[in-house]
Amino acid sequence: MNKIKENSALIKKILFIVLAGVLFITSLTLFIQSIESYDGGFDANKDYVVCMIISLIILAYAIYLLISKNQNSTLGRQITIGTSCAIACAYSLGVFFKGIAKGKEYAGIQIYLYAGIVTLLVLFIVGLDYLESKKSN
């Protein structure tokens, strides 16, 4: 019975790595496809860069889980989710406020506001979870 639990845990970790790898490769592919060249340089969709960085963080955490002896990595999960949410929140709110400052139409940039608020709430919840786990130890 113990062998089955070990095998299922290993399969879960490998599937997590595969899922994170697919997410990273997809965001990298979308980023490469969004590159446009023009006189004097190039431009790309920065949303895909942020997705690629976040997926790289998740992939690093998945690999850490595979090679780690610690089965319950609460701190690693909190760091991964917190870092990803902080990056997504800063980018989303930055794009929103930059768009407002430039006078863009609200309907075109409101999704960035919503994404920033949601990731800020998740970041707050992860912070409270971290403080709770630190208090109990």
pLDDT digits (tens, 9 = 90+) for 72-89: 677 888 888 899 999 999
The mean pLDDT values, 10 residues at a time, for the chain of 137 residues are 72 87 91 77 83 90 80 79 92 94 90 93 90 81
Residues in the chain: 137
* CA angle (128, 124, 115) in 5-degree steps: 155
| Confidence at residue 31, expressed as pLDDT on a 0 to 100 scale | 87
For residue 41, the cross-strand partners are: 38
| Confidence at residue 102, expressed as pLDDT on a 0 to 100 scale | 93
If phi > 0 it is left, if psi is from -120 to 50 it is alpha, else beta; for residue 73 that is: beta
- φ, ψ of residue 5 in degrees (nearest 5): -65, -40
| Confidence at residue 35, expressed as pLDDT on a 0 to 100 scale | 84
**Contact yes or no for 88/54 (Cβ under 8 A):** yes
DSSP secondary-structure letter at 103? T
| Confidence at residue 75, expressed as pLDDT on a 0 to 100 scale | 81
| Confidence at residue 40, expressed as pLDDT on a 0 to 100 scale | 66
Angle separating helix axes 2-33 and 46-67, nearest 10 degrees: 160
| Confidence at residue 38, expressed as pLDDT on a 0 to 100 scale | 66
| Confidence at residue 132, expressed as pLDDT on a 0 to 100 scale | 87
| Confidence at residue 70, expressed as pLDDT on a 0 to 100 scale | 66
Instruction: Kindly report the three-state secondary structure assignment for every residue of 6-49.
Output: HHHHHHHHHHHHHHHHHHHHHHHHHHHHCCEEECCEEECCHHHH
